[in-house]
Amino acid sequence: MNDTVQVRRPALTGDGPQDRRSAPARTHAWTPAAARRRFRTGLSVPTAGIAAGHAQANLVSVPADWAYEMLLFCQRNPKPCPVLDVTDAGSWSTVLAEGADLRTDLPGYRVWEHGELVAEPTDVVDHWRSDLVSFLIGCSFTFEWALSSAGVPMRHIEQGRNVSMYVTARQCRPAGRLRGPMVVSMRPVPPEHLSTAIRESSLLPAVHGSPVHCGDPSGLGIEDLARPDFGDPVVAAPDDIPVFWACGVTPQAAVMASRPPFAITHAPGRMFITDTRDEQYRVA
């Protein structure tokens, strides 16, 4: 089998700066429950910096007969797909947030049929199925608190933008019917902060850990940083180095490439905010 997969950006986007509502001020001070409550009533914004100090998670929900392969895919590709929780079939609750509803409490969803994006709702109650198994996967937004605390600037937060995400030329290790390329998120980092960014993120392996690449984007097969596949272009300072972390949008790329009959995912950059404190995932 040829495992080289080309993934095109879906026709429905909804993740550019012109497509989203503005977040209210002081979102960093929200509690996770308060953030989820606002998302439940329709607020749709990227979650970087919201409810600071609490872990965020990517979501992918697949039919039960695809769940083992998704679990195996995550196990074989732990950098982009670190699993934080897996639900029972049909359940919309998670141990990561008591009382939360995975069908309503994210600020944006994507609904897929045979690998094609068919809807981008703000809740998936009407799309939910009794056979869906949900995977909550660690998100790099979680380690941004550590980088910021150590003095590393977060350009996308400074600019009020979603983080830039790119489909790479690196193929994930396949698992049964699931295959696809690794997706990465990129943050411009000043050279004097590069070692700090690498060190701090490496202490949080459950949320992608250390970068997979620094510097020339062509090393990942990325042609133009100004044209991300997901999220927004982020303006770098003149001396900034592009730093790339494995990204939890990777299962979406696998859905696009492998074409399961049905799937639900988060909209890129619009994560599930858990009650878990960031530092609980720190290994030292």
Within 10 A of 87 (CB to CB), how many other CB atoms are there? 18
* Dihedral angle, C-alpha 104, 105, 107, 111, nearest 10 °: -40
Q: Is residue 23 part of a domain?
A: no
Q: In the structure encoding, which two tokens stand for residue 154, read together?
A: 């977060």
Interatomic CA distance for residues 72 and 190, integer angstroms: 37
Q: What is the pLDDT along the chain (284 residues), one digit of tens a residue?
A: 344 444 555 544 444 433 444 455 578 889 999 999 999 999 999 998 899 889 999 999 999 999 999 999 999 999 999 999 999 999 999 999 999 999 999 999 999 999 999 999 999 999 999 999 999 999 988 888 889 999 999 999 899 898 999 999 999 999 999 999 999 999 999 999 999 999 999 999 999 999 999 999 999 999 999 999 999 999 999 999 999 999 999 999 999 999 999 999 999 989 999 999 988 999 97
86: in domain: yes
CATH code at 103? Answer: 3.30.2040.10
Give domain status of residue 263, yes or no.
yes
User: Cα–Cα distance between 89 and 136 in angstroms, integer?
Assistant: 14
What are the angstrom distances between the C-alpha of 283 and each of 136, 201, 205, 206? 20, 10, 8, 9
* Alpha-carbon span 18 to 20, nearest angstrom: 6
C-alpha to C-alpha distances, 20 to 16, 66, 280, nearest whole angstrom = 7, 32, 31
248: in domain: yes
121, two tokens? 């709702």
Q: Is residue 277 part of a domain?
A: yes
Position 147 in a domain: yes
| Range of the structural domain that residue 44 is part of | 28-281
Q: What is the model's pLDDT at position 7?
A: 53
Maximal CA-CA distance, the chain: 51
What's the angle, vertex CA 229, arms to CA 147 and CA 267, rounded to 5?
75
> CA-CA distance, 171 to 96, in Å (whole number)?
30
1 found inside a domain: no
Look at the chain and report how many structural domains it folds into: 1
Does residue 2 lie within any of the structural domains? no
